[in-house]
Amino acid sequence: MSLSSVLPALPGAAVPSGATLRALSEPVPDGTSAPEDITTTVPDTMEEGAQGAVDSLGPFWGILSTVLVGVVIALAVVTAASVLLNVVLRGRPALRRQVARCRVPVAVALSLMAARIALGLTASEYDWFEGTNFLLLAGIIGSLAWLALRIVRIVEERVLVKYQSAGEDDRRDRKIQTQTVLIRRILEALIIVIAVAVILLTIPQVRAVGAGLLASAGLLSVVAGLAVQSTLTNVFAGVQLAFTDAIRVGDVVTVEDVYGTIEDITLSYVVVKIWDGRRVIFPSSHFTTTPFENWTRVGSALSGTVEMEVDWRVPMEEARDRLRALLESTELWDGKEGSLQITDALGGMVKIRAVVSARNSGDLWDLRCLVREDLVTFLRSEHPEAIYAQRLAESVSVLSPAYAETGEAEADPYRRAAGGSAARHDGA
């Protein structure tokens, strides 16, 4: 931009290029003053340099060189800041790696800013400037949103690492982890929505329509609420689950006969992982409207049972000693629950129940299987008489008088033992 276009030429006065202009409203010798609408303009060094490049290299190469110089300066600033941060954070390698992930979005944002400033100084009078300027502005907003998303991710990772539980009873840590993940997802959605809204508001036509949309916002909100009622219900249910501590990631639950572990809680659904690796997806509202079992609501330690049907001749004391020795020899047992009792004695058999406990659901499952296998092996190898036996009674026909006179009936051991009514047969 030449100086002649900034200030109209004054008759009889020559203005040297680059000179500082004083306000023309100062009193003149005859006591009058210059018109007040003539203002002072101080030439900008950057603007002069950009205009000089255009004048010397031509429009195309001058604009291109100015843009490249601005981008190079922006990249140099980013590189210098990265080197400085690496020196400051040399004792914290994890944080240094996380900060380094912000280098690319910062470099993109500063480069686009530099290009936009350079084009504003050199190409503002061209017809293509408005479209290019809008694209650069949209890119700047997008890169800043990208940077904000990276920062949110970094904060989430640092919180999750800080509250990563090293023990078994990790209810507080899992609660914080669940809430952190949900907050991160909400912030990501807000950042994206705000970025898109800001980009749209930079368009004059959209900004003009915005006033009319705000006037009818009440009606639109009602219509939108009715259209996405189920979706909004699940969204609010997801937030409620995370912040009311009803379930946490890692909780062991039983939902509609599905036994598994909470793997993920989102704004709209909950993922339950069952033992064979399958995932069952439930809407978030299901956990706020339907009863379910949370096995680890107050702690991760669990108790389980092993039931067996055996004969009345089972040696309980020896079976208890066997169970106690087994529990003391395995790391799956947490040292709390370990008992063996007869819980039922009907129908020609007795039912024994072993109660054991473990630190978590996975250890409990393995421990129950181990106890069941060991008790079966113990009874089969050392006490086969304790295996449940079925007793069948078979009626004996009435003897004829001739057979009774021979006296052979008295010699029949089955008749003598059963009183002539039944015979006993044992079978497993």
Strand order in the sheet with 333-344: 302-310, 350-358, 333-344
Decide which of 273, 300, 327 is a domain's last residue: 300
332 close to 366: Cβ distance less than 8 angstroms: yes
Determine the average pLDDT of the residues in 196-220: 65
pTM of the model: 0.55
Instruction: Indicate whether 174 belongs to any domain.
Output: no
Amino acid at 273: K
Taking residue 310's Cβ as centre, other Cβ atoms within 10 Å add up to 22
Could you tell me the pLDDT band of residue 401, with boundaries at 50, 70 and 90? low
Same domain, 351 and 291: no
State the DSSP code for 91. T
Burial status of residue 332 (CB atoms within 10 A of its CB: 0-12, 13-18, 19 or more): buried
Same domain, 307 and 295: no
User: Which residues, 6 or more positions from 336, have their beta carbon under 8 angstroms from its beta carbon?
Assistant: 301, 303, 357
Instruction: Indicate whether 168 belongs to any domain.
Output: no
Same domain, 292 and 352: no
Same domain, 375 and 321: yes
Q: Whose CA is closest to 362, among 263, 295, 255, 275? A: 275
User: What does the block give as tokens for 219?
Assistant: 């009606």
The DSSP element (H or E) to which 363 belongs, if any, is: helix 361-382
Same domain, 132 and 61: yes
Q: Please state, in angstroms and as integers, the Cα–Cα distance from residue 365 to each residue in 48, 333, 337, 339, 369, following that order.
A: 78, 11, 14, 17, 6
Same domain, 185 and 207: yes
H-only helix segments in 123-168: 129-162
Q: Could you give phi then psi for residue 282, rounded to 5 degrees?
A: -115, 140
Residue with the larger pLDDT of the pair 413 and 288: 288
Can you give the residue range of the structural domain that contains 25? 1-41
271 close to 195: Cβ distance less than 8 angstroms: no
Decide which of 300, 317, 352 is a domain's last residue: 300
What is the rounded CA–CA span in Å between residue 331 and residue 166? 17
Tens digits of per-residue pLDDT, 330-361?
A: 999 988 888 999 998 887 789 999 999 888 77
Domain of 213, CATH number, reads 2.30.30.60
pLDDT for the residue 354:
93
User: Which residues, 6 or more positions from 343, have their beta carbon under 8 angstroms from its beta carbon?
Assistant: 307, 351, 352, 353
Same domain, 8 and 58: no
Domain of 343, CATH number, reads 3.30.70.100
What is the rounded CA–CA span in Å between residue 278 and residue 297? 23
Percentage of the residues of the chain whose pLDDT score is greater than 90: 16
Same domain, 318 and 331: yes
**What DSSP assignment string belongs to 83-105?**
HHHHHHTTT-HHHHHHHHTTHHH
- For the chain, the domain total comes to 5
Residue with the larger pLDDT of the pair 72 and 211: 72
Instruction: Indicate whether 173 belongs to any domain.
Output: no
Same domain, 200 and 262: yes
Tens digits of per-residue pLDDT, 227-267?
A: 555 667 777 787 788 777 788 888 888 888 888 888 888 87
Instruction: Indicate whether 104 belongs to any domain.
Output: yes
Instruction: Indicate whether 346 belongs to any domain.
Output: yes
What is the rounded CA–CA span in Å between residue 254 and residue 234? 20
Instruction: Indicate whether 102 belongs to any domain.
Output: yes
Decide which of 102, 130, 162 is a domain's last residue: 162
pLDDT at 165 over 60: no
What is the rounded CA–CA span in Å between residue 138 and residue 112? 10
Residue with the larger pLDDT of the pair 126 and 53: 126
Same domain, 401 and 359: no
242 close to 251: Cβ distance less than 8 angstroms: no
Instruction: Indicate whether 110 belongs to any domain.
Output: yes
Instruction: Indicate whether 175 belongs to any domain.
Output: no
pLDDT at 163 over 80: no
CA 1 to chain centre: 54
Same domain, 115 and 197: no
Same domain, 319 and 262: no
User: What does the block give as tokens for 61?
Assistant: 């190469």
What is the rounded CA–CA span in Å between residue 330 and residue 370? 9
The chain-wide mean pLDDT, for the chain, equals: 74
pLDDT at 305 over 70: yes
Q: Whose CA is closest to 371, among 311, 324, 310, 312? A: 324
Taking residue 112's Cβ as centre, other Cβ atoms within 10 Å add up to 23
Residue with the larger pLDDT of the pair 63 and 224: 63
Q: Whose CA is closest to 425, among 391, 395, 396? A: 391
CA 133 to chain centre: 38
Residue with the larger pLDDT of the pair 138 and 11: 138
